[in-house]
Amino acid sequence: MKQFSLPENLTTSLEPEAIVAEERLADFAVDGITPQGALKPKDRQATSEIMGWASSQRITVFPRGGGTQLALGNVPQEVGLVLDLSQQSRMLDYQPADLTATVEAGITLGQLQRELAAGGKFLPIEAPMADTATIGGILAANASGPLRYSQRQPRDWLIGISVVGSNGTETKAGGKVVKNVTGYDLNKLYTGSMGTLGVIVEATFKLSPSPTAHGVLVARFPGTSQAIAASTKLLGQLFRPQGIQVIDGQAAQHLDIEQGMLETLGTGEALALAFFSGRPNAVQRQLEDTTNLLTEGGSTGGRSIEVATLNEAQGHSLTKSVCDLGWSPDTQPYLSIKANLPPSVLSAVIDRCLQESNLGLPPGVLADPGFGQVRLFWWAGSVSDWLDDGAVLQAILKIRGIVREAGGNTLVEFCPLTLKKEIDVWGDQPGGMDVMHRLKQKFDPLGIMSPGRFVGKI
């Protein structure tokens, strides 16, 4: 691919290590497309200068953090410059008494949580591979984890943001106090925008006190429908957990944890995983009440419900594995489809998808009954000879149709690149696309920010 040359003012102002060598550019590829160049500026001033130059040259720019979410989005037509923010990783301000913190976008979630813990606080958001995922990347991709039912989305904790626009100008929205109400709430606009509106360089969050105890309960059911029904009942209780995940045997095989707490899952069986945190006495009482609720019926489908409470180490390992599932190189699936649905129809939609996907083997299932989300996974090697792209496309269209009828939407998270180039992974275009196009035109008039990656190939 044609390389570009940096102007002298940039080459002299940037640190030598900020300019990625040509032989390393393949490490910054987006959907297999090697960029023309990659830069790692150490501060926002350098970021602004780079963006101003890229705008003047109409070079496409793809912001990057830890690279954990690069599989999301449509295949770009070209990748000009990858702008790596990982060097901008400082905690800029931490006010434990006010429950706020301001950080640079390149700090990883894991590093941030460790620094916050010193003041007895934490940021209630999750993301796959937290020690690699950066705050800027998490916001841009709107990433979350198994506790999203209680913690909600990253944007719900974001109170201030600084962004370098496509022309190199830095703008700010929100503030640094929890009760800030001035100006337009652009925090939510940038969250989930996939780097198409600007480069996030700073974020301010409201925080919570760190819980002093954690607990994870695992219950085994004959199938996903029974596990979802029991989970839904549990979520209606006063002692409900912070989150529940239902995972079937096919998907559980790909969790990198010890499964010794329960016997190996049989075909069609599923686990309900309930996560608790808070004060030690409260967590212990929640675990006991949950166990009693799940076992009070005696059996499901003629079988007793097995329930196990994990110790701290097992619980931490399981929580991390569920959060990382489908994202790490070891667990990345051949095909992954995420559906967001009304929680009341979750079980029925999963049953239909299992029956009608027609790919030779039922998918693995990971469902969030509280949030109304389900992921369907097919891993390489689970089918001896994978069908061609046409058959995979037909399965995607079938699942999209089922989800659409139920009032939901779908996102293809992983699929073969040959197929990904031919589809819009975001599925049906939502209402208000004209507004989204106008926003894109306003924030990025030259169309250089991650072009083609977002909904409708914006």
Helices (H) and strands (E) in the chain, counts: 14, 18
Residue 75 and residue 38 in one domain: yes
E-strand spans in 87-227? Answer: 91-95, 100-104, 121-122, 158-164, 170-174, 199-206, 208-209, 213-221
In a domain, 379, yes or no: yes
Residue 268 and residue 299 in one domain: yes
State the Cα–Cα distance between residues 361 and 382, nearest whole angstrom.
8
Q: How confident is the model at residue 65 (pLDDT cuts 50, 70, 90)?
A: very high
Residue 80 and residue 42 in one domain: yes
State the Cα–Cα distance between residues 211 and 171, nearest whole angstrom.
35
- Given 37, 59, 84, the domain boundary residue is 84
CB 47 within 8 A of CB 13: no
Express each pLDDT in 244-282 by its tens digit.
999 998 888 776 554 555 556 666 789 999 999 999 999
Higher pLDDT, 433 or 254: 433
In a domain, 352, yes or no: yes
State the Cα–Cα distance between residues 298 and 300, nearest whole angstrom.
7
Radius of gyration of the chain, Cα coordinates, nearest whole angstrom: 23
- Only one residue has tokens 């069986």, namely 269
HSE-up of residue 75 (Cα within 13 Å, Cβ side): 15
Angle made by CA atoms 209, 108, 242, in degrees to the nearest 5: 40
Q: How confident is the model at residue 337 (pLDDT cuts 50, 70, 90)?
A: very high
Domain of residue 374, CATH code:
3.30.70.2740
Number of domains in the chain: 4
Residue 108 and residue 191 in one domain: yes
Domain of residue 197, CATH code:
3.30.465.10
Query: Which pLDDT belongs to residue 3?
Result: 63
Q: How confident is the model at residue 61 (pLDDT cuts 50, 70, 90)?
A: very high
The 3-state DSSP class for residue 94 equals strand
What domain range is 204 assigned to? Answer: 91-209
* Beta pairing partners, 409: 340
Report whether pLDDT(381) > 80: no
Residue 389 and residue 402 in one domain: yes
Query: How many residues does the structure list for the chain?
Result: 458
In a domain, 387, yes or no: yes
* Ramachandran assignment for 333, one of left (phi > 0), alpha (psi -120 to 50 degrees), beta (any other): beta
In a domain, 452, yes or no: no
Q: How confident is the model at residue 328 (pLDDT cuts 50, 70, 90)?
A: low
The gap from C-alpha 370 to its chain's centroid, in whole angstroms, comes to 17
Going by C-alpha positions, the residue among 133, 161, 3 that lies closest to residue 71 is: 133
Higher pLDDT, 179 or 67: 67
E-strand spans in 291-372? Answer: 306-310, 335-340, 364-368
Query: Which pLDDT belongs to residue 429?
Result: 85
CA–CA distance from 52 to each of 58, 59, 152, 164 (Å)? Answer: 10, 10, 35, 10
In a domain, 330, yes or no: no
Domain of residue 22, CATH code:
3.30.43.10
Angle made by CA atoms 196, 197, 198, in degrees to the nearest 5: 105
The gap from C-alpha 426 to its chain's centroid, in whole angstroms, comes to 14
- Rounded to an integer, the average pLDDT of 58-73 is 94
- Only one residue has tokens 């929680």, namely 343
Token output for 416: 């073969």
Express each pLDDT in 146-175 by its tens digit.
999 898 899 999 999 999 999 999 999 888
Q: Of 98-102, 105-109, 231-235, 301-305, which range is least confident? A: 301-305
Q: How confident is the model at residue 59 (pLDDT cuts 50, 70, 90)?
A: very high
Angle made by CA atoms 373, 309, 332, in degrees to the nearest 5: 40
Report whether pLDDT(126) > 50: yes
State the Cα–Cα distance between residues 161 and 45, nearest whole angstrom.
16
Query: Which pLDDT belongs to residue 300?
Result: 47
For residue 67, give the amino acid letter.
G
pTM over 0.85: yes
CB 132 within 8 A of CB 112: no
State the Cα–Cα distance between residues 102 and 92, nearest whole angstrom.
5
Residue 198 and residue 236 in one domain: no
Domain of residue 269, CATH code:
3.30.70.3450
State the Cα–Cα distance between residues 369 and 350, nearest whole angstrom.
11
In a domain, 125, yes or no: yes
Query: Which pLDDT belongs to residue 432?
Result: 85
State the Cα–Cα distance between residues 438 and 199, nearest whole angstrom.
19
State the Cα–Cα distance between residues 159 and 181, nearest whole angstrom.
9
In a domain, 426, yes or no: no
Residue 67 and residue 177 in one domain: no
In a domain, 225, yes or no: yes
State the Cα–Cα distance between residues 346 and 334, nearest whole angstrom.
23
State the Cα–Cα distance between residues 400 and 407, nearest whole angstrom.
11
Q: Of 170-174, 180-184, 381-385, which range is least confident? A: 381-385
Per DSSP, the residues of 274-340 read: EEEEESHHHHHHHHHHHHHHHHTT--BTTBPPEEEEE-HHHHHHHHHHHHHTTTSTTT--SEEEEEE
CB 402 within 8 A of CB 356: yes
Report whether pLDDT(1) > 50: no
